Chain A
Amino acid sequence: MPDPTPTPAANASSSTPHAATVEFDHVTKTYDPRAAKAGAPGAVNDLSLSIPAGRICVLVGPSGCGKTTSLKMVNRLIEPTKGRILLDGVDVATRDVTELRRGIGYVIQQTGLFPHQTIEDNVATVPRLLGWPKARQKERAQELLGVVGLDPSRYARRYPAQLSGGERQRVGVARALAADPPVMLMDEPFGAVDPIVRERLQNEFLRLQEQLAKTILFVTHDIDEAIKLGDVVAVFRDGGIVEQFAPPAEILAAPASEFVARFVGADRGLKRLSLTRVNDVELGHAPTARAGDGAADARERTRRNELPYLLLLDAEDRPIGWVDEARLPAEGQLGDRLVSATSPLLDRRTTLKDALSMLLDADVQIGVVVDRRGAYRGIITVEQIAGFTRETAREAQVRADAATG
């Protein structure tokens, strides 16, 4: 199994003592020992994975490939047939099972909220089991509802049946976080909500994880979700066999096998673009001038540049638009009325995928990158995006070869 080198998250250095490493050590699970003797493969076979503390590891793969089984072996809802699972180096089989589970957040697609308890009581489940004082349980529940974006004064006293699917999912996450567990297990937590709500929940989840830095095992069968959320992604195939375990960019750029390539889809090039931001690319430069500058000098500079356009900026360096080289006057001052075309303004956090799509739609297929105040930083072209993709694919291939070779 290649050792993945996950892209360090912004918070990598501050990986709190609240996170733990999770390690699968040659884990096998066969539900039916008789079939296994007859040679049928088990649900999970000889799984070895090492998940660094404070990272999100996504287990992704087709239905029935053993993702849920793998997850449930961590909190011992299922006991492995062979092998060990280590939490911070300690074999979970040696731990007291209820104590172990109270230290692991667990979120499932069906939410598993108790219908007969208020939202507040649901969230306080583990603190209650741990015997926290009543007041602190309540305080913690209210705090967490706030964290997951539910106003406690509106939601705390409701019952699960009175919430929407998305709201229930948030409560499920809040409940799993209640006792601040170092490890979270999430089994398709956003699987049952519509795409728009899912996207919002994913974004909030990522923002939350930036502060919490828990070790998270996240199961999904949606490759896009895996790529978006994972620091590392384990691609499973039937029988709980991991085909590739690597950061998402590497899986997209250098799929380890035919299976992985097919699973990530023919559009993996585009998917990679969605992982990269304009910020990550070295920007190009267009000839620029401010409105009111002398035309002669600007014309001269534009002539010498390969771009047949000049980018006109305002007094604060904010782009006004493109001036065609042919329309640049030989003398006098530059003014707004010379502008003949505009092109999309890109923030430095825009993904390359969005940038590309905007460029394809624009009159001038040159993206103008601006900073937070809207001031010009540089340009990006379709060719640059293509070049960047080629370059990184080659690098990833080299890395992958080095790891397996």
Chain B
Amino acid sequence: MGIIGDVIAWLTDPAHWTGPSGIPTRVAEHLAISLAALVIASLIALPIGLYVGHTRRGGQSAVNVANLARAIPSLALIGIAVPITVLVDPQVGFKVLPTLIAMIVLGIPPILINTYTGITEVDRDLTEAANGMGLTSRQVLTGVELPLAASVIMAGIGSAAVQIIATATLGAIFGFGGLGSYLVQGIAQNDDAMLFSGVVLVAALAVGAEAAFGFLGRALRPHEVDTATPALLEPSQPEGTPAVG
């Protein structure tokens, strides 16, 4: 039987769907750490991206730094993180923390770059008109720039999510669970079915995340790109965006 059959058999074996190393548990672990990393990366990258985009100050250097971080291989990042985290706490040091740090560092660039780009791509005439009408700087940001950049920002968060989910797999090497455990164990035990099932599951998670954020991004797209003829429009369109002020 080919490897595909083996993988299907492995994935459909009820024994693999229960217990602390069952698929649901591993998926949950994987998602939990990924979500944590995504939230923290967003909390760091969004404000920076919004600030440099809005003020157009230091934007290029922020993008350069972000691109640099992007170029470091994930594994190397985890390697760098280990000695630091061990200093902080030898116990967690070897489990979740190094991977989490690597995931965050890799999640930041796409969010930062897309946020910056999304904001700076908002038409200057538009923000100037908004300023000229007496919107405060903050109102221009939240009422004009952010809604118009939302879909681009969401795409950035989507690619960060894919990065993060992929990187989370490496955590297993350092003793953290998640779907990476199947890969580590599969290699160690020479169990190809387990190994490739793990790969399939990680890929499915990444594709799912990409699709989810893509959907969100389209839902947030400004009406500027709406090409529907007025006559065909229903009044029940999704309500624009938060009102200014």
**Cβ-defined contact, B134 with A112, below 8 A:** no
Interface residues on B, range: 20 to 34
Checking B136, B223, B227, B230 against A116 with a beta-carbon cut-off of 8 angstroms, the contacting residue is B223
Cα–Cα distance between A72 and B125 once the two chains are bound (Å): 13
Say whether A348 faces chain B, with CB atoms less than 8 Å apart.
no
**Cβ-defined contact, A108 with B129, below 8 A:** yes
**Cβ-defined contact, B233 with A162, below 8 A:** yes
**Cβ-defined contact, B223 with A115, below 8 A:** yes
**Cβ-defined contact, B241 with A106, below 8 A:** no
**Cβ-defined contact, B226 with A112, below 8 A:** no
**Cβ-defined contact, A112 with B129, below 8 A:** yes
Checking B135, B222, B241 against A129 with a beta-carbon cut-off of 8 angstroms, the contacting residue is B135
**Cβ-defined contact, B132 with A118, below 8 A:** no
Partner-binding segment picked from A96-104, A250-258, A259-267, A310-318: A96-104
**Cβ-defined contact, A77 with B133, below 8 A:** no
CB distance from A77 to the nearest CB of B (A): 6
**Cβ-defined contact, A161 with B223, below 8 A:** yes
Q: Which residue of B lies closest to A97 (CB)?
A: B134
Cα–Cα distance between A101 and B137 once the two chains are bound (Å): 13
Cα–Cα distance between A175 and B123 once the two chains are bound (Å): 18
CB distance from B186 to the nearest CB of A (A): 48
Say whether A125 faces chain B, with CB atoms less than 8 Å apart.
yes
B window 83-136: CB within 8 A of A: 123, 125-126, 128-136
Cα–Cα distance between A110 and B129 once the two chains are bound (Å): 9
- Given A101-B132, A159-B223, the answer on whether A121 and B125 have CB atoms closer than 8 Å is no
Neighbouring B residues of A205 by C-beta, 8 Å: none
Interface residues on A, range: 35 or more
**Cβ-defined contact, A128 with B123, below 8 A:** no
Total A-B pairs, Cβ < 8 A: 95
**Cβ-defined contact, A128 with B223, below 8 A:** no
**Cβ-defined contact, A112 with B243, below 8 A:** no
Contact digits for A145-164, partner B, Cβ 8 Å, 1 yes 0 no = 00000000000011111100
Neighbouring A residues of B134 by C-beta, 8 Å: 98-103, 126, 129
Contact digits for B215-232, partner A, Cβ 8 Å, 1 yes 0 no = 000000011111111100
Neighbouring B residues of A114 by C-beta, 8 Å: 126, 130, 144
Say whether B240 faces chain A, with CB atoms less than 8 Å apart.
yes
Q: Which residue of A lies closest to B230 (CB)?
A: A162
Say whether A5 faces chain B, with CB atoms less than 8 Å apart.
no
- Given A110-B123, A129-B245, the answer on whether A117 and B240 have CB atoms closer than 8 Å is yes
Neighbouring A residues of B227 by C-beta, 8 Å: 161
CB distance from A219 to the nearest CB of B (A): 13
**Cβ-defined contact, A158 with B233, below 8 A:** yes
Neighbouring A residues of B147 by C-beta, 8 Å: 116
**Cβ-defined contact, A129 with B133, below 8 A:** yes
**Cβ-defined contact, B129 with A115, below 8 A:** no
Neighbouring A residues of B224 by C-beta, 8 Å: 115-116, 159-161
Neighbouring B residues of A30 by C-beta, 8 Å: none
CB distance from B230 to the nearest CB of A (A): 5
Say whether A215 faces chain B, with CB atoms less than 8 Å apart.
no
Checking A100, A125, A157 against B244 with a beta-carbon cut-off of 8 angstroms, the contacting residue is A125
Neighbouring A residues of B233 by C-beta, 8 Å: 158, 162
Q: Interface residues, chain B, CB within 8 Å of chain A?
A: 123, 125-126, 128-136, 139, 144, 147-148, 222-230, 233, 235, 240-241, 243-245
What are the nearest 3 A-B pairs in CB distance? A112-B129, A101-B134, A115-B224
Q: List 5 A-B contacts (CB under 8 A).
A: A108-B129, A111-B129, A115-B126, A126-B133, A162-B230
Additional A-B contact list (12), CB under 8 Å, known A101-B132, A108-B128, A110-B129: A77-B131, A102-B133, A111-B129, A112-B129, A115-B224, A116-B241, A117-B240, A121-B240, A128-B244, A129-B244, A160-B223, A161-B225
